[in-house]
Amino acid sequence: MSPQRAPSSELEASDERFWKEQENRLTRQIGQPCCSLNALAGMLVTMPGNFAVVLHGEADCASCFVHAPGPSADKFYATRITQSRFTLGKTAEPLAKCLRLIIRHRSPEAVFVLGNCLMEMIHDDFERVARDIQQETGTPVIALRASGLKAASQAEMVDWLYSTFATLAKKPSDGASRRGLVNFIALPEINRQELRLELEGVLSAAGLRMRGRYPFETSLSDWQGILEAEADFVVDKSLFPRLVRSLDSLGAATVEVPLPVGLGSSRRFFEVIGGHSGALKEIRKACAPLEDKASKRLSRFRAKYGGLRVAVGMRMENNCRADQLAYDGLGDLSLFVEAGFKVDLFIQGPPEEKARKHFKQRLVQLGCDMPFHVFPDPFNLPPLLKAGRFDVAYLADHARGEALKAGVPLIRSRSLEPFYEGMLHNLEYLDQVLEEIRRNK
């Protein structure tokens, strides 16, 4: 057994100095910092399409992202650099061999090479290998320095990958009509048929047709064809500076739309589309019955539950989901406000004062003046949730145990659904959750 000793006061003082000096891994956005390799691999593994990914580094880095349910882990390869190759700097040969084999046997439309921390440490020139193989084979080989050594933000990663995809975009063939075709970037996932039908129905009233919804339901070929649309409607353009620049430079029209969660946001979302396409009247007409139904449901909900309290978690996820990162995670708040909830934000982050100031500044920049609490770990949540007497917690799923401990029902963050139909589902779900608590009380 080890000596049973507590730290001396001198040690405590020196530790305290460390924590004060410690840069708090804060990024411009509120979201958690992330590893580039984890972020890029995590996004690529969920994208279908004819591509390949090579993880360039030691074998273990293949487990820095989750492989199931995929669908694309079977397109991943690893150079599995050995210690002796690393020490001798002989890293190019396995990479070149791997790339040649992939291109010969799998014929991908593009190969992404992700270099890890170890390769960054020796500044391995894998870009040169990628260039050479691209030249030799004609297949685009894109080298990305994806180490986790820099505190990157998830927003940067999303923008980096999407703007990289945009470099693969093909100019539409002469004579191909882009008229009426629109893309959406960073919309929430649409899991219900009625939501899809709502979007398509409203668009069709304005003579528009959806070409692609990025990143959900899009494959590499959709990115290659992104320029085939007349307009790209982007949720939170500030999230994608590189992508927007890239699309603009390729002649695409990018237009900002809000995250269409809640009544007001859904209305603004469709009105922006209508305004841009010169079909505002038609869009309003198509939306009117949907809005009316959602509005009546909302009134009933407010009458029944108005004045409840919700704890909304922020900076808890590290999943590089664009819809979650949009507006620093504040995109869903309008629904809670419209539904009559009093919202408190719970930001997971360093407990030091300078981090608090940073978060406050950022919220002010985003026009948010809601009360907020900073907590370092989900572990700290139960007493905070209990003390606040919250009726519902909208938190990352991994905090389910903490919410349970505090006796507050958890709704998984970013599970609220978009558009007017989504509003009905969201209120129905909230109603069920609140009814259940009422019954249990």
Partner 1 sequence: MTDELEEFALSSHSYGRITGVSLAMHSIPDAFLVLHTGVGCKYKGAGQYCLHDLARPSHHREGYTEVTDLALIKGSASRIPIYIRSWHKKRNPAFMAVVSSTFLEMAGEDFAKAVKGAESTVPCPVAYVRTLGFDGDLYDGYNSLTLEVLRRVPFKKTKPVPKKVGVVGYVFDRYEMDHAGNLQQLRFLLESLGLECGPVALSGRPYRELMDLATCEKLICLPYGRAYAKELSKLSGRPVIRTDLPVGLSGTFRWLQDVAQGCGVAKAAAEACIKKQSDYARPQMDSFRTYARQRLGSRRLALFAETPLAAGLTSFAIEAGLNPCLIGLRDRSLGGKKAFLEALRRTGVRPSEDLDVVENPSIELSRQKVAALRDKGSLSLVVGSCTELSYINPEGRQNEVPSVELGFPSFNYHVLFPTPYYGVAGALALAQRVMNQVR
Say whether residue 18 binds partner 1 (CB under 8 A): yes
The least distance separating partner 1 from the CB of residue 217, rounded to whole angstroms, comes to: 12
Q: Which is nearer to partner 1, 100 or 438 (CB)?
A: 100
Taking CB under 8 A as the criterion, the residue among 27, 30, 47, 77 binding partner 1 is 77
Tokens of 238: 């500030």
Residues within window 32-61 making contact with partner 1, judged by CB under 8 A? 33-38, 54-55, 58-61
Q: Which is nearer to partner 1, 31 or 262 (CB)?
A: 31
The least distance separating partner 1 from the CB of residue 149, rounded to whole angstroms, comes to: 4
The least distance separating partner 1 from the CB of residue 54, rounded to whole angstroms, comes to: 8
The least distance separating partner 1 from the CB of residue 365, rounded to whole angstroms, comes to: 24
Q: Which is nearer to partner 1, 22 or 361 (CB)?
A: 22
Nearest to 274, CA basis, from 262, 290, 285, 260? 285
Half-sphere exposure of 311 (CA within 13 A, CB side): 32
| Greatest Cα-to-Cα distance within the chain, rounded to the nearest angstrom | 80
The least distance separating partner 1 from the CB of residue 417, rounded to whole angstroms, comes to: 19
Taking CB under 8 A as the criterion, the residue among 50, 74, 192, 365 binding partner 1 is 74
Q: Which stretch, 21-29, 193-201, 237-245, 280-288, contacts partner 1 (CB under 8 A)?
A: 21-29
Say whether residue 93 binds partner 1 (CB under 8 A): no
The least distance separating partner 1 from the CB of residue 257, rounded to whole angstroms, comes to: 28
As a whole number of angstroms, the distance between CA 325 and CA 32 comes to 10
Taking CB under 8 A as the criterion, the residue among 25, 28, 171, 281 binding partner 1 is 25
Residues within window 380-439 making contact with partner 1, judged by CB under 8 A? 398, 400-402
Taking CB under 8 A as the criterion, the residue among 13, 101, 176, 288 binding partner 1 is 101
As a whole number of angstroms, the distance between CA 147 and CA 39 comes to 10
The least distance separating partner 1 from the CB of residue 273, rounded to whole angstroms, comes to: 29
Residues within window 300-339 making contact with partner 1, judged by CB under 8 A? 318
The least distance separating partner 1 from the CB of residue 376, rounded to whole angstroms, comes to: 8
Q: Which is nearer to partner 1, 137 or 295 (CB)?
A: 137
Residues within window 134-163 making contact with partner 1, judged by CB under 8 A? 147-151
Site string for partner 1, 267-306 (x = CB under 8 A): ----------------------------------------
Taking CB under 8 A as the criterion, the residue among 26, 30, 117, 205 binding partner 1 is 117
The least distance separating partner 1 from the CB of residue 234, rounded to whole angstroms, comes to: 27
As a whole number of angstroms, the distance between CA 192 and CA 212 comes to 17
The least distance separating partner 1 from the CB of residue 3, rounded to whole angstroms, comes to: 5
SS (H, E, C) the chain: CCCCCCCCHHHHHHHHHHHHHCCCCCCCCCCCEECHHHHHHHHHCCCCCCEEEEEECCHHHHHCCCCCCCCCHHHEEECCCCHHHHHHCCCHHHHHHHHHHHHHHHCCCEEEEEECHHHHHCCCCHHHHHHHHHHHHCCCEEEEECCCCCCEEHHHHHHHHHHHHHCCCCCCCCCCCCCCEEEEECCCCCCCHHHHHHHHHHHHHCCCEEEEEECCCCCHHHHHCHHHCCEEEEECHHHCHHHHHHHHHCCCEEEEECCCCCHHHHHHHHHHHHHHHCCHHHHHHHHHHHHHHHHHHHHHHHHHHCCCEEEEEECCCCCCCHHHHHHHHCCCHHHHHHCCCEEEEEEECCCCHHHHHHHHHHHHHCCCCCCEEEECCHHHHHHHHHHCCCCEEEECHHHHHHHHHHCCCEEECCCCCCHHHHHHHHHHHHHHHHHHHHHHC
Binding-site residue total for partner 1 (CB under 8 A)? 73
Say whether residue 191 binds partner 1 (CB under 8 A): no
Cβ atoms of residues 109 and 140 within 8 Å: yes
Please, which residues bridge with residue 193 across strands? Answer: none
Q: Which is nearer to partner 1, 289 or 401 (CB)?
A: 401
Q: Which is nearer to partner 1, 120 or 344 (CB)?
A: 120
Taking CB under 8 A as the criterion, the residue among 51, 76, 112, 301 binding partner 1 is 76
The least distance separating partner 1 from the CB of residue 81, rounded to whole angstroms, comes to: 7
